[in-house]
Structure formats: structure tokens, C-alpha cells
Structure 1
Amino acid sequence: MLNGNGIPNHEVGTFPNSNNPNTISEQTVSERFTLCPTIISESGLEVVGQAVAIAYALNSVKFDPATAGRCNDEGECSLAKGQGNWNIEALGHETFDFGDDMNHAHVQPTGEYHYHGMPELLIEFLGSNNGMTIVGWASDGFPVYARNGFSNPTDPDSEVKELKSSYKLKTEPDANRPSTVTALAGGPNQGSTNPNIPIEMGAFTQDYEYVDGLGDLDQCNGRYGVTPEFPDGIYYYVVTDDFPFFTRCLKGDTN
């Protein structure tokens, strides 16, 4: 069981800021995680919306990698509750700015500080155990590690290395993908503007594709292997420096 107030135990950026108007406030976090997680979907079940938090860090801060930002085919975009088929990513590009800090985190309108990617100062605070750092628990009960793992997933004596995702940018944009921001609304200090700026590849979730075996991790940014905390082996998710940064799907049962 994880109880907390959602306030990080490390330095954060300045909030509100010019791209995020929200102030951090205490939350009520009380989450239960199964001690015996089991995989029910090898391909993973996509987690959509806020009904189920995909994971929590050990300090009770939520992992929430997706955004509510959207664009339509005409390039009309909104950073908050947008309409359209193109999902805006918080990280990995410079087209849109969600005001995230040094921990790749920012604040929701509810005051909830949450991570979109690598929680750098949490990792520094926790330190490592034989080169690996467990940073949290996914809602299905499987552990979450940051960045590193054993080069041979079943050998705890093998070299520790940075684990890579198996996603890459598509060589060509999808059909009907907007190439220019023609209107931007709904974000802080944005009003409704016509910036007429190019939308670089990587700004949308749809700009990426999964290639089995390209990196170390599967489609849910996880793998099976031994860890210092689980010497007999377990499935675990990994926070990575590159897309998807954090898993967008869960393999275990959240009920």
C-alpha cells in the first residue's frame, strides 16, 4: 500500500511558470498494489484517461506520460482538452511547451505534480542498488525501474547498461498529419494565436512506431529479468530517456 500527499521529496521547477499556470498542492494518495502480479496480456492493455493511474513513484507522485493536447488535420491545436486525432507529446520535441521542469514533470490544474518521463532528482535521492534504481510501482503491481538494467537480463553479474526502448521515429509522416500549427489555443498565455510554426516529427505520439527487437524493451517499455530486489526474476517496466519515456500500456491485471 502506498500512502502520501503527492508532494515530491526533491527540488522542483518554478510553478506557476509561463507555460504552466498551476500551483503544486497536496493530494490524497492511497494506492494498493498486488504482491503477486500476473501478466494477462502479452501485448499490453492501453491505459487511456485518468480513471486508472498507470503508476506511482515511491514518493507518491504519479507517472502520467500522455497529455490532453491534441491537433486536428488542419493544424488547429490545443494543449488542454484539445480536439483531433493527433496526440501531442510532452517530451522529445520543441514545437509545444508544457512547462515541464528538470524532472520532466509539471502540474495539472488540480495541483497534482506528475512525471512525464525520467524523474532525475528522485533517482538522485534514492541512489542505486547494484546499478539499478527502483522508482515506483505500476498499477498492475509490477515494479518500475529507471534507465538502467543488466546487459544480460537473467544474469545479475553482467554489466549494467542503459536500457533502450524499441520505438523509433517513422521515416515518413502518416497521411493527413498536420505539418504546421495554424492555431494554438487552450494553453497558458496562449489565448488563441496563429503561430504558423512547423510541427517537427516526434511532436505526436503517432510519429513513432514499435519495432520488435530494436532495443532492449517490449511494446510496454518493459522486460522480464532479474533485479537486485527480485533475484529470481520478474517482469518490470523501465523509464527511458527516449520515447515512449514511460509505458503507455500495462501487461498485468489492475483489478
Structure 2
Amino acid sequence: PCPGGPMAETDWNRDAIPNELPGFDCSKGHPAMGNYHHHQNPSAFKLDQNVTSTICNLYDADGLYAIDSLAHSPLIGYAYDGFPIYGAYGYANENGTGGITRIGSGYELRNITAGTHHADGTNVDDGPAVSATYYLGYFREDYEWISNTLEEYLDEHNGRYCITPEYPNGTYAYFATVKNDWTSAYPYVVGPTFYGVSANRSIASITETVTTYVPNNTGLSQTTSLDDLNINVFPSPASNIIAIQVGGLVREDLQVELLDLTGRQLKQSRINKGQTLAYFDVKTLYNGTYLVKISNGLSVTTKKVVINR
């Protein structure tokens, strides 16, 4: 265990972005606590000018959007306080003028060699000294917010009040901040605190007048056809790992099996609802042709794959 690890609340809290890098998929997201989610700008690793992860070589993805330095980034979500979240680029000036620019984080790494105080001067329990293990940037508290007169830099919540394409009269908005090389920049999306009120945002009931649409499912199967899932098995030929990636929405758990040509099961895995990937370690298998069988309980599809070293 490391200081400030998952679910820990200490004076020195581990920054998930550098510390969980091997666990992020091509779109810079991962599942945890029962939900797939993003901590950072959700464009694919392969599209960054400095590629810090080669996971896209194993299983590819497009990300939620692609950074375009010539256009205002799209609206990619809403924070728990109700304000919109945009990608990495926006208007240089808050009034919508000044052209398109990369929106900058106001946070910088502190010049410290040991964690004894927070950036605001608060005396806290000492954290580890800066070292090869606990490098500067390992903890979120290694950063401090620096005020900047340029309007393209964000406040301590990682947002600003500005005009956006969806809000021509202006709104407070967060941005998914990146560095010059498009790698993620702390505090990444929102934080460390919200601009608005984030408490009690779960919707228990809807009191407004709404229109309810009831789909007509007469004669339609509720089970997704495997042919509609755009299942890919790669690489082929493979040497160490075989990946099984689903391009569509997985509504039922999928059983995944690796078989030899006689139908004998060699390995098994599964892709659960909402997930997209399974893989087999095949380093111990002989060269040859194998079968990957995917089933959802009602239908089956089989793909051939070759192992060759």
C-alpha cells in the first residue's frame, strides 16, 4: 500500500493520473467502484503529441473526442454542481473573442523537498520526502494554484465564467486541461473543489412535467445479436496476448473461450455488461490456429486466431 492510495483521505493524497497510468484504457478511462469513468481529458492516448501509454496498440479506441487546436472543444459532460465540462480548447477571452487557444490550468508544482505544509501554509502531518518513489507530483498536494491575469488560465476550481458555443450568454464552465504536448494537466477536470454546490445531487424523484416515451418492443428480442457487437480478435498472428474487443454496447455478460481445433477449451474469460475487453495470455501455447468462442447464452460466434512466434 502507498500513502494516499485508493479511498484514502489523508493530508497527502495520491494523484491517480500518474500512479494509475497502467490501468487506463486507450480512452484514458477505467472501471472502478462499479463504474467506468474518466479522471482526465478523455481523448485517446494515441492522439497526444507525447504518447505516454501504448495501450492503444493492444486495444484501440477513439476516446470521447479528439483535440482540435483550431476549434472550441465540445461539451463532454456536466459536473455534480450542474456546470458544463468542456475539452481542452476554448476561446482565449472569456467574452468569446481572441481566437481558439489551449485553456490553461492555474496549478503548478510546488518547489518543495518534503511534505510538511500544504500550499496555503497549513501545518499537516508530514508526508514522505520527495524521492524517486514519491516524486514531486505523486501527491495532489504537491501542486499549488497561481493566479494569472490571462483569461485563458482557469481558477482554483479549474473553470471560469465564459462564453461557449452552447452558452452564448455565458456560463461557468470547467475544462479538461492538458499541457502543450496534450498530456493531462492537474487538476485535470474539476477540482480540487467545486465552484458550485455538489451535495445532494442524486435525483430521487422528478417533480416537473415531463413526457414519457415507452418503446414498443413487440416482436423484438431483448438480447443483443452478437453480429451487432462488432467483435474483433487481435493481433493475428499473436505471440504473447490475444485481445477480444467489443465495439458495441454489451447488454449481457459474454462468455469468452479459447479453444483448440478439436474444440477443447484451453482458457476462459468473460466480458461483463458495460465492459469492452477480455484477453488471453498465450505465451505457453504452441504455434498454430485456435478458435475464440464468444456466447451470451442464446447465440454464439467463433473467430479464428493464429499464434506464431
TM-score, with normalisation over the residues of structure 1? 0.56
CA contact (8 A) 2:69 2:101 kept: no
Q: Which residue pairs with 2:128 in the alignment?
A: 178
How much has 1:82 moved relative to structure 2?
4.3
What does 1:1-255 correspond to in 2, within 5 Å?
A: 71=3, 79-82=5-8, 84-91=10-17, 93=18, 97=21, 99-110=23-34, 112-120=35-43, 121-124=63-66, 130-156=71-97, 158-172=98-112, 173-175=114-116, 176-179=126-129, 198-213=133-148, 216-241=153-178, 242-248=185-191, 249-254=193-198, 255=200
In structure 2, the CA distance between the partners of 1:83 and 1:122, relative to structure 1 (3 Å rule), is: closer
How much has 1:98 moved relative to structure 2?
5.7
In structure 2, the CA distance between the partners of 1:246 and 1:99, relative to structure 1 (3 Å rule), is: same
Deviations 1:81-140 (A, max 9, x none): 44743210111x4x6656112322211142x1110101111013x989952311011122
Deviations 1:213-254 (A, max 9, x none): 276100000001111111111110111121101112222234
CA contact (8 A) 2:72 2:90 kept: yes
In structure 2, the CA distance between the partners of 1:159 and 1:178, relative to structure 1 (3 Å rule), is: same
CA contact (8 A) 1:70 1:83 kept: no
Q: Which residue pairs with 1:18 in the alignment?
A: none
Inter-partner Cα distance in structure 1 for 2:69 and 2:76: 10
Inter-partner Cα distance in structure 2 for 1:208 and 1:128: 26
Higher mean C-alpha displacement, 245-254 vs 218-227: 245-254
Deviations 1:168-190 (A, max 9, x none): 00001422321379xxxxxxxxx
Which structure has more relative contact order (CA 8 Å, sep 6+)? It is 1
Unpaired runs of 5+ residues, structure 2, are: 44-62, 117-125, 179-184, 201-309
CA contact (8 A) 2:71 2:90 kept: no
C-alpha RMSD of matched pairs (Å): 2.9
CA contact (8 A) 2:70 2:100 kept: no
Q: What is the SS of the residue equivalent to 2:40?
A: coil
Inter-partner Cα distance in structure 2 for 1:97 and 1:70: 15
In structure 2, the CA distance between the partners of 1:221 and 1:70, relative to structure 1 (3 Å rule), is: farther
In structure 2, the CA distance between the partners of 1:128 and 1:97, relative to structure 1 (3 Å rule), is: closer
In structure 2, the CA distance between the partners of 1:224 and 1:132, relative to structure 1 (3 Å rule), is: same
In structure 2, the CA distance between the partners of 1:135 and 1:83, relative to structure 1 (3 Å rule), is: closer
CA contact (8 A) 1:70 1:82 kept: no
Q: Which residue pairs with 2:285 in the alignment?
A: none
Q: How many residues align?
A: 161
Percentage of matched positions with identical amino acids: 29
TM-score, with normalisation over the residues of structure 2? 0.47
Q: What is the SS of the residue equivalent to 1:250?
A: coil
CA contact (8 A) 2:107 2:143 kept: yes
Inter-partner Cα distance in structure 1 for 2:9 and 2:135: 19
Q: Which residue pairs with 2:284 in the alignment?
A: none
In structure 2, the CA distance between the partners of 1:134 and 1:204, relative to structure 1 (3 Å rule), is: same
In structure 2, the CA distance between the partners of 1:207 and 1:89, relative to structure 1 (3 Å rule), is: same
Unpaired runs of 5+ residues, structure 1, are: 1-68, 72-76, 182-196
In structure 2, the CA distance between the partners of 1:198 and 1:139, relative to structure 1 (3 Å rule), is: closer
